[in-house]
Structure 1
């Protein structure tokens, strides 16, 4: 109930005013049955705007820590993430990645819509980064279709690192469902999984128009944080080179 109240009463109207969302290809999202929505990731607002424009409830995976806080703040955070359609990753397995896969398989087994971000984290600079193979393994294991979703303009409405939201224009483009049944039985083959995720990311690049970077976004963020912690050089760039 809270999911729909957030969408149509509490947050939806505000998101409409701020982003004036334009939608393309929504007919590609089936009205029933399990499906994976694979999206580029520019800002926190990505999840909100996908939920706003898709008629079905979208479920996202979230860190278990979001659901285990204590006190009033912990209760509110747990309630909010649950109401927003997120579920904690099953970490009963020693391997967190395997736990996430188990949770995702359960969600798809219930015929739900699962929202995923192949890049694994938000883009540090608006470009499209290399996809991680977890989504590919899930698609190959379950056999459900993957729909590429390009988010455009969310980083203008909700600039990364800023708590302020701004007026802008958000566009959400849904590509045609991608069927990987030709790879049936090959889940676990790292070469096949890489080929599948690269195909998904290529479709995202075509839909979004973003420049592609053949690096993991998380690695780029880590490198940037390391550079930020280093003392500045005493020499001009040209001299140091």
Structure 2
């Protein structure tokens, strides 16, 4: 039994070969997963990931009604894209993956290191192109390098500018960090805002038996899982390295996400209809109440 569990924990899907030019970037003191993620980022999307999204996206609908608005021009789908999404709960990566597949792209999703360490699910997420983010550690820079490789290869990467599940009392997005903005400016990659609402009702924030309770509740109630894919954020007047531009880009990205979120929260503008008692409310929204001024710099 112990040997079987050990094999299960160590199982990995087959990794594509790492190109020689990228192999030179992997140092002996890098974590063992770094070379794998670089190889996956440089390779075309995994056939099994395409298969799952094409044939089993309906599984997400067991937990709620997926409603997608907006879209992506066909000419943009052929090149690299950075998707900036508000992070509202542990279930929302699944909703976003299904929503983006509906509008014609195959997403690679940035995820916390803890999820990537889970048996079976972690290796599968990694093989689909998931990018490990070790927040608050020196290893966080590895996520930037993997993301850059994926984008150079024309990948579609989903990132959360807030850097975590949002903790504002009213559920509106936090100000976020400048990391994604700097990457977009540095590589000249279009940023597509993705606004979402409803996925927070499927899995509570706290890691206890309450997660199972909220899952069962969602199966019975089937809340609306709304996603809006907005137009690219205007960043062409900004430059990487120019003082203040990364900060301006950050505010524009958050403003675009917030604007797209307003119609998804009809009737819930002041406060969420479903409140999660396990979620801390220690942060401040960038635009409280979803009110975005017209003069965002």
TM-score bracket, shorter-length normalisation = 0.7 to 0.9
Q: Distance in 1 between matches of 2:98 and 2:244?
A: 36
- Root mean square deviation of aligned Cα: 2.9
Is the contact made by 1:157 and 1:169 (CA closer than 8 Å) also made in structure 2? Answer: no
Greater than 6 Å deviation, 4+ residue runs: none
Say if 2:89 is the partner of 1:43: yes
Aligned length: 207
Gaps of 5+ in 2: 1-46, 271-278, 284-297
Is the contact made by 1:34 and 1:112 (CA closer than 8 Å) also made in structure 2? Answer: yes
Deviation, 1:206, is 1.1
Say if 2:61 is the partner of 1:61: no
Deviation, 1:90, is 9.2
Say if 2:245 is the partner of 1:202: no
Deviation, 1:129, is 0.9
Residues 77 and 48 (structure 1 numbering): CA distance in 2 closer, same or farther, change over 3 Å? closer
Residues 170 and 62 (structure 1 numbering): CA distance in 2 closer, same or farther, change over 3 Å? closer
After TM superposition, the score normalised by the length of structure 1 is: 0.74
Say if 2:109 is the partner of 1:109: no
Is the contact made by 1:42 and 1:122 (CA closer than 8 Å) also made in structure 2? Answer: yes
Deviation, 1:107, is 1.0
Say if 2:65 is the partner of 1:20: yes
Residues 190 and 120 (structure 1 numbering): CA distance in 2 closer, same or farther, change over 3 Å? farther
Q: Deviations over 1:15-44 (max 9, x none)?
A: 124322111112357321101000001112
After TM superposition, the score normalised by the length of structure 2 is: 0.61
Q: Which residue of 1 aligns with 2:9?
A: none
Q: Distance in 2 between matches of 1:32 and 1:65?
A: 32
Residues 180 and 63 (structure 1 numbering): CA distance in 2 closer, same or farther, change over 3 Å? same
Bigger relative contact order, structure 1 or 2 (CA pairs below 8 A, ≥6 apart): 1
Residues 4 and 152 (structure 1 numbering): CA distance in 2 closer, same or farther, change over 3 Å? same
Q: Matched residue of 1:182: which SS?
A: coil
